[in-house]
Amino acid sequence: MANPKTSYRGRRVKILATVGPASRSPEMIARLLRAGVDAFRVNMSHGDHATHAETIAHIRAAEKDFGRPVAVLCDLQGPKLRVGTFAEGRARIRHGAHFTLDRDPAPGTEERVCLPHPELFGVLRPGQRLLIDDGKLQLRVVRADADAIVTTAEVGGMISDRKGVNVPDAVVPVPALTEKDRRDLAFALEHHADWIALSFVQRPEDVAEARKLMGNSGTALVAKIEKPAAVDRLEEIIELSDGIMVARGDLGVELNPEEVPPLQKRIVEATRRSGKPVIVATQMLESMIESPAPTRAEVSDVANAVYDGADAVMLSAETASGAWPVEAVTIMDRIGKQVEADPGYAARIHFTDVRPDATTADALAQACANIADTVTLAGIIVFTGSGSTARRVARERPAVPMLVLTPSPRTARRVALLWGAHAVHTREIGSFEEMIAKGKRMALRHGFGAAGSKLVTLAGVPFGVPGSTNLLHVVTLTGQELEKGED
């Protein structure tokens, strides 16, 4: 009989929840797992390493108690461009007035303020924009030289100490990894984070630098697409990454609001074609930071991401600092299940044309999806060491869920962010007969069918050899498999 804690949730899209003051206690982490969380995001922008280490320990303890692999994603802060300070802590920039950003460290006034980022003075040109405080103030560059950037306030207002600056019209010559990020990355690797999210990605070289620092750690890398410059080189960035996050918060600041939805769809589609997981993030259920129920627009927003075939949808402040973290996860879980139960869901999710590569593994993954469309199946069983076979199957978005059996606990955790995948850490197999017996046993144990159910098994022979996926086999459950064998 299937264990409710460890069995398949009945939902293909995954839920990534941010941990914070409202959710980092062992009790709350357990409640969020029960509500439907598949992976936790640790935001390195807030808190210290001691707090993060304690949080990760709580997640691992809950994972052990539940018997379900849980991914930990550490999200690096990235460089933050900010203005300096003001003589009175704040000032008013008048609409239509000139306002200067310079290298003078003296306290700011209504006419000027220090911009302590010398690299910006060499790249800004007349006509380009500067957005202050998440776009609340909009400045247009009139003149720029080595010491001062003179702007006109197209949208004025109050500005205060150290407000953030966005530069949407230029590639900023700032590395994606600051010294703080390097320390945070080393911490995350030391604590065996399953995924690293890289902020402020503008070019493929940013991703390559992070990968070099990560080495052969076994940790996967997500590139956050939050800068317009990254969109121009999207395919190259996807190629170098293990996954992509559509970070709509900063994209929404640097682009016009109406530009973000089609861009989100473009990023999701391009990433899906690559066979890598894609996460849609930021402000998905924003009102639930304070309200126990979302708006109808927010529900539609989450539903659209599910219809587009995103691998995961993310909660930020809703679970990190909000008043209703469990309710936010519960609502997101319900939205995912409702959308996936829609008779039109299959047609919508296959609107993206995903073509397999000319390899045996890709051909077999596509065959699994075709069989699921032709024969009534309870699921697809995938034996994998690295997770690559599971990614190939997930790219096809098959009509049935996928039971991923792996001897690697790190692979099982990474797969927790993969569409339709239910991962189980199990022992190595040594023969075809053992593979079939174990596949059937695990299928019954984790809620993939009952006596008489058919499943497709996908694996590689010889066993334990990476990249050897070459075997597809259809099995039928008898219901007697649970009486014998071990994990």
Q: Which domains does the chain have, with CATH numbers?
A: 14-78+176-349 (3.20.20.60), 90-166 (2.40.33.10), 360-483 (3.40.1380.20)
Residue 117 has pLDDT above 90, yes or no: yes
pLDDT at 122: 82
Question: In what helix (H) or strand (E) does residue 475 lie, and over which residues does it extend?
Answer: strand 469-476
Among 39-53, 164-178, 267-281, 332-346, the least confident range: 164-178
Neighbours of 277 (CB within 10 A): 29
Among residues 11, 12, 14, 41, the one annotated as catalytic is: 41
Give the rounded percent of residues in the chain with a pLDDT score beyond 70: 98
Q: pLDDT: is 6 or 437 the higher one? A: 437
Catalytic residue flag (residue 224): yes
pLDDT at 462: 78
Residue type, position 251, single letter: L
Express each pLDDT in 323-363 by its tens digit. Answer: 999 999 999 999 999 999 999 999 999 988 888 888 888 99
Express each pLDDT in 447-459 by its tens digit. Answer: 998 999 999 999 8
Catalytic residue flag (residue 282): yes
CA distance 110 to 181: 34
pLDDT at 326: 98
Residue 1 has pLDDT above 80, yes or no: no
Residue 464 has pLDDT above 90, yes or no: no
Q: Quote the tokens at residue 386.
A: 């690295």
Q: Are 24 and 55 in contact (CB under 8 A)?
A: yes
Nearest to 417 by CA among 307, 312, 281: 312
Bridge pairing between strands 195-198 and 220-225: parallel
- One-character DSSP codes across 24-40: -SHHHHHHHHHHT--EE
| pTM, rounded to two decimals | 0.94
pLDDT at 6: 83
Question: What SS3 state is found at 403?
Answer: strand
Q: pLDDT: is 298 or 478 the higher one? A: 298
Question: What SS3 state is found at 131?
Answer: strand
Nearest to 255 by CA among 268, 244, 264: 264
**Average pLDDT score over residue span 144-169:** 95
Among residues 11, 14, 224, 395, the one annotated as catalytic is: 224
Among residues 282, 389, 406, 411, the one annotated as catalytic is: 282
pLDDT at 231: 94
| For the chain, counts of helices (H) and of strands (E) | 17, 21
Among residues 9, 31, 82, 265, the one annotated as catalytic is: 82
Tell me the pLDDT of the chain averaged across its residues: 94
Q: pLDDT: is 257 or 278 the higher one? A: 278
Largest distance between two CA atoms of the chain: 80
Taking the CA atoms of 207, 349, 391 and 270 in sequence, report the sign of the dihedral they define: negative
Bridge pairing between strands 98-102 and 148-155: antiparallel
**Average pLDDT score over residue span 209-236:** 96
Residue 3 has pLDDT above 90, yes or no: no
Catalytic residue flag (residue 24): no
**Location of structure tokens 């045996």:** 360
Residue 486 has pLDDT above 60, yes or no: no
Q: Quote the tokens at residue 140.
A: 């247009």
CA distance 99 to 152: 6
Q: Are 352 and 380 in contact (CB under 8 A)?
A: no
CA distance 475 to 451: 11
Nearest to 241 by CA among 13, 460, 23, 417: 417
Catalytic residue flag (residue 397): no
Nearest to 267 by CA among 247, 249, 283: 247
Rounded to whole angstroms, what are the CA distances from 242 to 224, 282, 418?
Answer: 11, 20, 11
CA dihedral 232, 236, 242, 245 (to 10 degrees): 0
CA distance 452 to 449: 8
Express each pLDDT in 20-30 by its tens digit. Answer: 999 999 999 99
pLDDT at 487: 62
Taking the CA atoms of 287, 199, 241 and 353 in sequence, report the sign of the dihedral they define: positive
Nearest to 389 by CA among 377, 410, 406: 406
Q: Are 124 and 144 in contact (CB under 8 A)?
A: yes
The strands making up 469-476's β-sheet, listed across from edge to edge, are 421-425, 402-406, 379-383, 454-460, 469-476
DSSP state of 363: H
Residue 153 has pLDDT above 70, yes or no: yes
Give the rounded percent of residues in the chain with a pLDDT score beyond 90: 86
Residue 168 has pLDDT above 70, yes or no: yes
